Structure formats: C-alpha cells, structure tokens
Amino acid sequence: MEEIPQQVQSYFEELAETEITEEERAYMVGKFDQIKARIPELDDRINGVAQGWKTARMGKAELAVLRLAVYEMLYDESVPVKVAINEAVELAKKYGGDDSPSFVNGILAKLA
C-alpha cells in the first residue's frame, strides 16, 4: 500500500499526454480514495463468495476490477448493478488473463 501514492502520480503523468480536466482528475482521485478507504470491507465481501480464491491469491488486475465493481454495486447509486458488472467484465477482458472475464463475472453475480 505504500507505493499507491507513487502509482497514482505515475498514472496522472502518463495521462498528461491526453487532455484531462481538473474536474475529471478530481473525480478519479475522489473515487480512488473512497475505494481505498473501503478495501477491507470490499475484500471481505469478495472473500465471502470467492470459493478457493481469496483476495490474497488473486491477480492484481482482477482484484482491482473486482474492488471497483463491488464499490460501485454497494455505494455508487449512479451506476446500476448490471452496468457495474458489465463494465467489470469488459475491464477483465482488457487487462486480465483469458479466464478473468468469467472469474470476475462469477464473483460479481454472487454479490448481485
């Protein structure tokens, strides 16, 4: 967790090549901070339904996608549950391994 501030800074440095408004940046940082503050609770929810795959064993991409989706499902009323699940599966396709989309979908379906 110590490396998180450095990773966030690095991410925004990479985004510097694209046009991102201060409002968009503030939204992303705010969302990130809200998720980070709830990681223990989010992980408990994920661990409660992930048979044989506790968060400590999950790939970083899959875990990040799951945390975001579970946060949106529980706390972000502007994101419908079905949309959160669909977007998580799409992110898993893009950033995870071959089995990631079905893995993510299976976990989130149990939480929906």
Tell whether 49 and 99 lie within a shared domain.
Answer: yes
Tell whether 24 and 47 lie within a shared domain.
Answer: no
CB 112 within 8 A of CB 81: yes
| Predicted model pTM | 0.86
Tell whether 14 and 66 lie within a shared domain.
Answer: no
Tell whether 24 and 60 lie within a shared domain.
Answer: no
Domain of residue 22: give its range.
Answer: 1-37
What pLDDT score does 72 carry?
A: 96
What does the block give as tokens for 35? 């998720």
What pLDDT score does 48 carry?
A: 94
Tell whether 31 and 43 lie within a shared domain.
Answer: no
Q: Nearest Cα to 101, choosing from 83, 111, 88?
A: 88
Tens place of pLDDT per residue across the chain (112 aa): 567 778 777 877 777 777 788 898 888 889 999 999 999 999 999 999 998 889 999 999 999 999 999 999 999 999 999 999 999 999 999 999 999 999 999 999 999 8
What is the rounded distance in angstroms from the CA atom of residue 22 to the CA atom of residue 4? 20
What pLDDT score does 2 carry?
A: 65
Tell whether 56 and 30 lie within a shared domain.
Answer: no
For the chain, the C-alpha Rg in angstroms (whole number) is 14
Decide: residue 38, CB within 10 A, 0-12 exposed, 13-18 middle, 19+ buried. Answer: middle
Tell whether 33 and 61 lie within a shared domain.
Answer: no
The secondary structure of residue 57, as a DSSP letter, is G
